[in-house]
Chains A and B, each alone.
Chain A
Amino acid sequence: MSRFLTPAKIGLLALIELYTEEAVPNDSIVPVIKFIISHLLGRDLVSTSVSAPADPWGKADSTIRLVVSIQDFEHVLGPLAAADHLPGRRLWDMFLEKLWAIDSLHALRVFFDRLPRLSAKTRDELRRMAELGEHPPSGLLLSRRSPFGRFVRKSHSEFPLLKFGPAAELWKGFVKYRHPTAGYWNRRNPHHGRLSFDSVLMTGEHGWGPGADALAVVAYGDMLRLDGQDDTLSVSTDDIESLLEFQIELIQKYGNRAPPDIRDRLLRLLKDCHLIPSLSHYLNFSDAWRSGEYPTSLDHLHRYFDYTMQGRKRLFYQYALMNVAIVQTDFGCHKEAVTAMLETVSIARENRDMTCLNFALNWFFHFGRAHPDLVRDLENSTMLGSGKETLAFLRVMAKETGMWILWGSALLNEAKLGLSGGESVSVALEYMVRSSHMVVRRNMKTMMGAQLSMAIALWDRLGLSYLSGLTCEVFMRCHANRSVFDDELRVTCRLAGLLAGRGKYEEAFEKLEAVNSNSLRAVESNQHWHLYRGILKLSRDLHRNNIEAADCLLSQLLQMRTDDIEADIVFVIDLLHVESLTRRGDYEPAFVKTDRLIAEMRHDKRDISLRIRLLLTKAHLFDRTGRPERGFTIAMRAASLAWHARLVALLWQAMGAIANVLNALSEFATAAELLVIVLPRCLETDMAYMTGTLYSLLADARMGQAGEKATAEGMSRGGRAAGAPMKATASASAAPAAAQKKPSEFLAKAHEALDLAFGYFSLVEDVEMQCQVLAKNATLMRSMGDHGLSEEYAAKYVALKRKADARNG
């Protein structure tokens, strides 16, 4: 196997020669040059528009195709006419003529020796030629620094470097590469004989007779006999390396694994090259890593390091360790990962490798966020300090060493930390703006994912789900092609989550299904995708009151709850578990679990929103067990926390909880007032279930108010009850307008609220709440005296129940 030259490259050279001989007619120049350039530069000249190439693997595919067979040339050159405009003569014929003119090993050498003719002469050469009295060459000449010129010069200088054996191999490979065209060439060229692939054999055939065949077999081996059946392909190290680099780049950049067919073809190429570049081990490692084979990936990683020990790469020991640590984390071996990373830090410190140190520190920060228990001892015993200090330090270091990506991500992390700690939103925004500035200024396209993810999270927290959805769309449309697949997946999940929150389950699932299946071959993405789909399904099933299916899903999801999935998702699953328990009426375990989770949260410094959600769950549990008053302090605390952290969506939920408590305490007017203020803001969040709940609470409050009014009226009519006036005055003072209203007005308002609540609940297909609302409605109607409507609601209730049961099987 040669280093650079392959039969396919000889073909390209021949084509370039044709081009310089002006044998390519004007209208065919563009496709020919495009073809050559796409193989020389590995880039498509025409489609360099803003959007990234549709098929990122196309390049690898075309490279492999060109190396393997001459057909690519035929596809391009076949339809083009030759410049001499003889009827029926195509460029392909001229190209073949060139190829078949190379009719012996020596002719191949002559072909390469002739190459400098194609390129323009340097000034020295011109002067020398002038001294010798030669005329400077004329015609189409390749500039020495043009892609063509460089390719030609490189090929020219590479050939003499080949030893005889490889040169002969190249020649054999070329004969084989050219062989498929023999039939065609034979038809066009009557002189063409069986042995004309080698002129020496051809001329010797007269003298040698049958001996010529024997000689041909000896010289060319089995190649002739098998007629292309054998599978050795001539490929150069150069090609292989560029292919490998390309794949690794794709894996690192997009987190994609190669599609199976391309992978197979590459493996075939690799099989034929005796000199396997060490990069291929790295590729194998990446592939195994992505596909989740822990032993294989570590094995390949070590093999790669073994093969790269020589040379300057020995200095990269710390990077090797860092890789090991990252792999260990991905496979859930956190303890080993920590030791490896600590080793990395010490080695990097020894080698004064600031870049590596910064990376390690960054990693530690993230790791610490994900697994606080493992890092805790470390933090106490070392100078690493708390998260915030680390980040500030990192930011400064990154700025000093010019690691822009690290700088950007440090800023984002700081913003994130601030948000999750419930600190000032504006400070977080400032960090985000700074990071955004960095991203734009340094054109860090890969950072776009992190940047926009942060923005999405921020809008979510602020309850501006419309903006968050918009940002998602922006990312998907403009940046998804250039960023890591992981980001794309997360944003897709987020979009699906938003849709599901609005009750558009089908659309949400569609979004998830539309994810590129090849990209999902990476095990981590695949897992995430499955988990998220599971969670969506689970929440839908819970809404539909499909407890059996939910249990089934839950048991699976709970099993996944090992160390290797993210804490956030674990939390979501836990919450869903609690909800499922609640819905089934197993309040005791639900309560225990919630308490445990709250205790854990307090222990670790986790995101404040999670804590608020837990508090709200607890308050909800109190409500379900019929003692909503006990949840008052909890709800108040949740509300105040949410207010401080500007977690708007949660704030409204907390308000709902408070209103519920107020209802329970018969402070209906206050509750109603609170809810009326909260509801419009809540509508902004697009959370249908929460809106429905709030409306249903509002209806309760209105009913309470109506009841109060009725009692008050009844009392004013038939003697006042003892405690009533005081309450009435209280409510009157709180809502002077309400005091003037009649009970029927309140009832109508309650009905209205119930209808709205029913609408929102049916959006998310929540059977239980729908039934509850219908029951309330029926009661309301009866109390308003409309028995017909009441019956209707009751019938609806029964139908709904039956339908749900039928659906749940």
Chain B
Amino acid sequence: MGLSAKDALHLKEALQIAAVKCSERCLYQSAKWAAELLDALPDVPAAELGQVASSMPGSQVHPAFAPNADPLEAALEAKELNKYLLAKTFFDCKEFDRCAAVFLPESLLAGLLSAKANDTTSPRGKGKATAAPSAEQSLPAISQKSLFLALYAKVISGEKRKDEDSEMIMGPQDLGSVVNKQLLVVTRFLERWLAERKAEDCELSASQGFLEYLYGMVLVKEKNDSVALDYLMQSVHLFPWNWGCWLEIANLIARVEHLNKIAPHLPQNIMSFIFHANTAVNLYQQGQDLAASLNDLLGIFPTSSFLLTCKALLNYHMKDLLAAEQDFSNLLALHPHRLDSLDHYSNILYVLNLRPKLAFLAHLCSSIDKFRPESCVVIGNYYSLLSLHENAVQYFRRALTLDRSCLSAWTLMGHEYVELKNTHAAIESYRRAVDVNRRDYRAWYGLGQTYEVLEMHAYALWYYKKAAGLRPWDGKMWQAVGSCLQKMGRDRDGIKALKRALLADSYYDSTSSSFGSAGAVDRMAQMDPEVLLQIAIMYDRLDEEDEAKAYMELCVAQEDGGLGDSVAIHRDSSGVASDGEAEATERGGGGEGTGVTVATSKARMWLAKNAMRTEDYVTANRLATELCQDGVEVEEAKALIREARSRMELANMVDR
């Protein structure tokens, strides 16, 4: 999707303004994001540029640096430029309290708070703020920019203190119970400010959107999600170029349905488009539409690292690991100094077991910056791959010390604790991961696994269900649910879940193959014999021998793969044989069958014994002989053979 020269210029200008405005307010990440995107925008050809430029007077100041369009705000900003510069430099030097105090001294805030407590309906006039704590105190008359900076500094300082008070990761203080003490002040202040705006909007200048964003952010921290979403959406409408705001919205959306519900209420521009795509990727959505929209965006911003990351993550979530690896690898070459989201890359390399590459990546990261959470996660992953779990935990902890909201580190640390058999710590890590981001299916799954290890199946089931809810097309989740149900003795439900697992595998197969990035997937591939065996066993327990036998046969048939079709009738699905592999690369893939596995051997043994019971000695003999050939449970198989033969001989004798 190309843009016309004019559109491109407009887009460019808008992004430039966004970068400047965000960095004026010390929203560093948003500014960085906008600037990165700006950089990814290809230059408009000079000829077209000339056309467009003629329509605009050349000598004008660039709009990014032009004074505020609102004359009232512009006057205020001009008046307090000195103080603003002071506050901004304080913020840049990480002296947050001092920054806040430039515009909002403590005495003033205290006065405002008490005023709020006393009487909210008293008439408020405009005027200079006085230090006297009177009930009549009004908000200080400062520009929105300065106000935002001051309040934002307050919030950040509170966050910093919160982190400091929490002390060591998973230490005695770190229970997630420490709160940001500045939130209350900021909330009160913003409440009043926004109320004023609503009441007398004719008199006051229009809001620029940033304060709504701040209020939304504060509300999110107070877990007041729905109100927060309202304010954030307001902010987005007022100023759509603040990526941080979009991210906050994205964090509030837990389900695709929710995303689709709010989509119409969002402003219709490119930002909302990017937002939609990004959120969908983070919600583990997949499909052609999403890929197409990402490709469209990449058409506009061909080298955008952000969009390329999204694309790679999309491939990753679709379990097309090789493509994802390729994407990330290209991204790495394109932006060698960029660390963002390399932790995902390391996950991919981990799963692919590309040790040298993972080691190289870790080396690269630690060369760039040893003290970035991403670097620590990458190194931790490398150690985990080497089965040096203690070291891995150490690095994940370091990542968390650097950034407590580092989601992947919490989850991965949970995995490591599971490996170290420290279930208590594992559960805590997973729990923290889930608290940070409720969409992390791996953490839910990990929780379930841990409880399963502890044989607390009810808990495990709950968490598996959560995970399955997040990734309904992932067979592994359903399989986990199914086996959990099986262990709890709820065979009917278990069978349902496991059948769903089989179905889910085939579902995602169809999408990925239609996407076409991973090449043609062999439709003659097999189902997971484990799942089939489990289903069969459960049927067996329910005394539904026919079903059980059918599944057992299906399971055995997976050994040579191709037979899958013939027995697929038993399944609830439309009879499409599917790829039973949970991870595309874990095994050889393709239609060659799994060969003899423990599961198929067990199924064969069951079948042999079943044949004995049904006095089908020939079959029993054949199956037992096969077992002997495979070299599994030879003793028992031999006993079976002996018995079958003797029975056959007996039968012969009787016949005779």
Known interface pairs A105-B356, A211-B336, A221-B367; 20 further A-B residue pairs with C-beta atoms within 8 A, sorted by A's residue number: A103-B356, A104-B360, A105-B359, A106-B355, A106-B356, A109-B359, A164-B379, A164-B382, A164-B383, A164-B395, A168-B362, A204-B333, A208-B333, A211-B332, A211-B334, A214-B336, A215-B333, A218-B336, A218-B368, A219-B364
Q: Tell me whether B386 is interfacial, beta carbon within 8 Å.
A: yes
Bound-state Cα–Cα, A103 to B379, Å: 19
Most buried by B among A107, A209, A214: A214
B364, B391, B395: the one contacting A215 at CB < 8 Å is B364
Q: A164-B395, A209-B333, A214-B336 are in contact. Are A109 and B364 (CB under 8 A)?
A: no
Interface of A is mostly: helix
A63 at the interface (CB under 8 A from B): no
Cβ of B518 within 8 Å of any chain A Cβ, yes or no, is no
Check if B333 sits within 8 Å of A211, measured CB to CB. Answer: yes
Contact A200 B386 (CB under 8 A): no
Q: Mark A160-174, 1 if CB is under 8 A from B, else 0.
A: 100111001001000
Residues of A within 8 A of B (CB): 103-107, 109, 160, 163-165, 168, 171, 198-201, 204, 207-209, 211-212, 214-215, 217-221
Asked if B173 is at the interface (CB within 8 A of a chain A CB), the reply is: no
Q: CB of B405 within 8 A of chain A?
A: no
Tell me, yes or no, whether B182 is within 8 Å of chain A by CB.
no
Tell whether, in the assembled complex, residue A207 and residue B367 are in contact, meaning their CB atoms are under 8 Å apart. Answer: no
Q: How far is the CA of A165 from the CA of B363 in the complex (A)?
A: 8
How far does the Cβ of B519 sit from chain A's closest Cβ, in whole Å? 17
B332 interface neighbour in A171, A198, A215, A220, Cβ under 8 Å? A215
- Chain A residue, CB-CB nearest to B380: A164
14 examples of A-B residue contacts, CB within 8 angstroms: A104-B360, A106-B355, A164-B366, A168-B366, A207-B326, A207-B329, A208-B333, A211-B334, A211-B336, A214-B336, A218-B364, A218-B367, A219-B360, A219-B364
Tell me whether B386 and A109 are in contact (CB under 8 A): yes
Rounded to whole angstroms, the CA-CA distance of A199 and B357 in the bound complex is: 9
Return B65 CB to nearest CB of chain A, in Å: 33
Across the interface, which residues of B come within 8 angstroms of A215, CB to CB? 332-333, 336, 364
* A207 and B357 within 8 A (CB): no
Closest residue of chain A to B330, judged by CB? A207
Q: Please, which residues of chain A bring their CB within 8 A of the CB of B326?
A: 207
Q: Separation in Å of the A175 CB from the closest CB of chain B?
A: 11
Say yes or no: is B525 at the interface (Cβ < 8 Å to chain A). Answer: no
Nearest residue (CB) in B for A104 is B356
B residues whose Cβ falls under 8 Å from a Cβ of A: 326, 329-330, 332-334, 336-337, 355-360, 362-364, 366-368, 370, 379, 382-383, 386, 388, 391, 395
A198 to B360, CA, bound (A): 9
Kindly state the separation between the CA atoms of A105 and B362 in the bound complex, as whole angstroms.
Answer: 9
- Selected contact of B362 from candidates A164, A201, A209, A211, CB within 8 Å: A164
Which applies to chain B's interface (DSSP): helix, strand, loop or mixed? Answer: helix
Evaluate contact between B333 and A168: CB separation under 8 angstroms. no
Given contacts A204-B333, A215-B336, whether A199 and B364 have CB atoms under 8 Å apart is: no
- Alpha-carbon separation in the docked complex, A207 to B329 (Å): 8
Q: Which one of A200, A201, A220 has the highest number of Cβ atoms from chain B below 10 Å of its Cβ?
A: A200
Please judge, given known A-B contacts A109-B386, A168-B362, whether A200 and B357 are in contact too, CB under 8 Å: yes
A218 to B342, CA, bound (A): 15
Docked complex Cα distance between A300 and B477 (Å) = 67
> How far, in angstroms, from A364 to B362 measured CA to CA in the complex?
62
Which residues from chain A contact B330 at a C-beta distance below 8 Å? 207-208, 211
Q: Give chain B residues whose Cβ lies under 8 Å from the Cβ of A208.
A: 329-330, 332-333
Q: Would you call A199 and B356 a contact (CB within 8 A)? A: yes
B360 close to A200 (CB less than 8 A)? yes
Q: A200-B357, A207-B329, A218-B368 are in contact. Are A105 and B363 (CB under 8 A)?
A: yes
Question: Which listed residue, B333, B363, B388, touches A219 by the CB 8 Å rule?
Answer: B363
Residue of B334, B367, B388 ringed by the most chain A CB atoms within 10 A: B367
CB distance from A197 to the nearest CB of B (A): 12
- By the criterion CB–CB under 8 Å, are A104 and B359 in contact? yes
Given the complex of chains A and B, what is the CA–CA distance between A106 and B337 in angstroms?
Answer: 21
Q: How far is the CA of A285 from the CA of B334 in the complex (A)?
A: 53
Alpha-carbon gap, A106 to B354, bound state (A)? 10
Min distance, Cβ A140 to any Cβ of chain B, angstroms: 28
What's the nearest-Cβ distance from chain B to residue A385, in Å?
Answer: 62
How far is it, in angstroms, between the C-alpha of A55 and the C-alpha of B627 when the chains are bound? 75
Q: Is A207 in contact with B337, judged by CB distance below 8 angstroms? A: no
The 10 closest A-B pairs by CB, nearest first: A211-B333, A208-B333, A106-B359, A200-B360, A105-B359, A104-B356, A106-B356, A218-B336, A219-B364, A214-B336
With a cutoff of 8 Å between Cβ atoms, the chain A residues found around residue B366 in the complex are 164-165, 168
Cα(A208)–Cα(B329), bound, Å? 8
User: How far does the Cβ of B134 sit from chain A's closest Cβ, in whole Å?
Assistant: 58
How far apart sit A580 and B334, CA to CA, in the bound complex (Å)? 89
**Looking across the interface, which residue of chain B has its beta carbon closest to that of A216?**
B336
- Taking the nearest CB of chain A, how far is it from the CB of B197, in angstroms? 48
Instruction: Verify B356–A200 contact, CB threshold 8 A.
Output: yes
User: Which A residues touch B329, using CB under 8 A?
Assistant: 204, 207-208
Give A204 to B326 CA distance when docked, in angstroms.
10
| Residues of the A chain whose Cβ atoms lie less than 8 Å from the Cβ of B355 | 106
- The distance in angstroms between the C-alpha atoms of A105 and B368, with both chains bound, is 16
- Given known pairs A168-B366, A171-B363, A219-B363, the reply for A107 and B356 (CB within 8 Å) is yes
CB distance from A428 to the nearest CB of B (A): 69
Q: Complex Cα distance A173/B395, Å?
A: 23
Could you say which residues of chain B place their CB within 8 Å of the CB of A164? 362, 366, 379, 382-383, 391, 395
Q: Complex Cα distance A137/B573, Å?
A: 55
A18 to B6 alpha-carbon distance, docked (Å): 69
Contact residues in B for A207 (Cβ distance below 8 Å): 326, 329-330, 333
| A106 partner residues in chain B, CB cutoff 8 A | 355-356, 358-360
Shortest A634–chain B CB gap in Å is 85
Within the complex, the shortest CB–CB distance from A173 to chain B, in Å, comes to 13
Bound complex: CA A160 to CA B333 (Å) = 30
Q: How far is the CB of A201 from chain B (nearest CB, A)?
A: 7
Q: How far is the CB of B362 from chain A (nearest CB, A)?
A: 6
- B382 cross-chain contacts in A, Cβ below 8 A: 164
CB-CB < 8 A to B360: which residues of A? 104-106, 198, 200-201, 219
The residue on A at minimum CB distance from B383 is A164
A100 to B555, CA, bound (A): 48
- A55 to nearest B CB, angstroms? 41
Q: How far is the CA of A168 from the CA of B364 in the complex (A)?
A: 9
Chain B nearest CB from A14 CB (Å) reads 19
Nearest-neighbour CB distance to chain A for B308, whole angstroms, equals: 13
Residues of B near A165 (CB, < 8 A) are 366, 370
Assembled-state Cα–Cα distance A214/B338 (Å): 12
